[in-house]
Amino acid sequence: MAQLLVTGVSGFIAKHVALSALTAGHSVRGTVRSTRKGDVLKATLAAQGADVSRLTLVEADLTSDAGWAAAVSGVDAVLHVASPFPISQPRGREDLVPAARDGALRVTRAALDAGVERIVVTSSMVAMMYRAGLSGDVPVTESSWTDPEWAAATPYIISKTRAERAVWDLAKTRGQTDAIVAINPGFVLGPALDAEIGASLEVIKLFMTGAYPALPPVHFPVVDVRDLAALHMKALDAPVGGRRLIASGETISMQDMAKMLRADLPDRARKIPTAVLPKAIVRLLAMVDPTLKTVLADLYARPVAKADYVTDLTGVTFRPARDAVTAAGRSLIAHRVV
């Protein structure tokens, strides 16, 4: 069994990655900004049956070089999952880039310097999906790249694109691209393990609490966090060095998500909207609502993930979007988030 480093281990995706790793018998060293919440994290994972005696926590911040050499020392592989994902976008287009890009470079450089042979970087399909002139159904493939200069690109889209580009550029410069695997998930849903949820589940929370009377007309490729964690595990030893692995199954609309929640959680249906806002109204409201600004780039096209090659390479299949959506909703109720 391997010794793995998981960055940002207290995050929504990273907790599932750590759980999968511990369940598989690996030892996990997880980075956190502060170890003060370590007992809470261990209790969460233990409640899922994980042997947390094989979990250790170390302090390391993506905005500082301190601690990263020690964090990667002696590990067999690095899973860099940590990345900022605000549900409301900052004002400046490049405001999220330093933390995302420089953090990814810090982790990758430290791992390469330490001789780590497999570095799995959690990127995003947003680094693939966006550029000018797209409309209708748009296939997204391993070679697709977002244009960060596109006017409609949000700070989050820009940060994920620049961060992944920077990692590949570093690896190419050092002649070590085979050490890198990028995993590019779609909209990550599925069950929360505790009440500390990620930004994607905040969207489901907004649905279930009636925060909006109607929904923007946008579509997202969806992936269940459990499948995403499984793909991280497979990426450790599958023949995928130097590859970008799209992690997504079906593409569905926000209206589809809402209808799935209403059908599966009828006692909550009253608050869940299904009406759809016209695009012009979304653009107008986004001028005063920071949350709606995050979907402006998605008004233009319906991205369709072409991920069959990922299943061929790793054996991981992606469950139906309905499973991910309803599992998310049920978990928010179970953890009393809604």
What amino acid positions are annotated as catalytic residues? 160
Cα dihedral 185, 155, 102, 131 sign: positive
Angle 65-97-122 from CA coordinates, rounded to 5°: 75
| Separation between Cα atoms, residue 130 and residue 62, nearest integer Å | 26
CA distances from 313 to 184, 242, 290, 306 (A): 15, 13, 39, 13
Could you list the beta-strand ranges (E) of the chain: 3-6, 27-32, 55-59, 77-80, 119-122, 136-140, 180-185, 187-189, 219-224, 244-247, 251-253, 301-305
Phi, psi of 266 (to 5 degrees): -60, -30
Q: Which residue has the tokens 């409609």?
A: 152
Residue whose tokens read 């497999």 = 118
**CA nearest neighbour of 250 among 227, 276, 273:** 227
**What H or E segment, with its residue span, contains residue 314?**
helix 308-314
- 52 contacts 45 by C-beta, under 8 angstroms: yes
C-beta separation of 304 from 176 below 8 A:
no
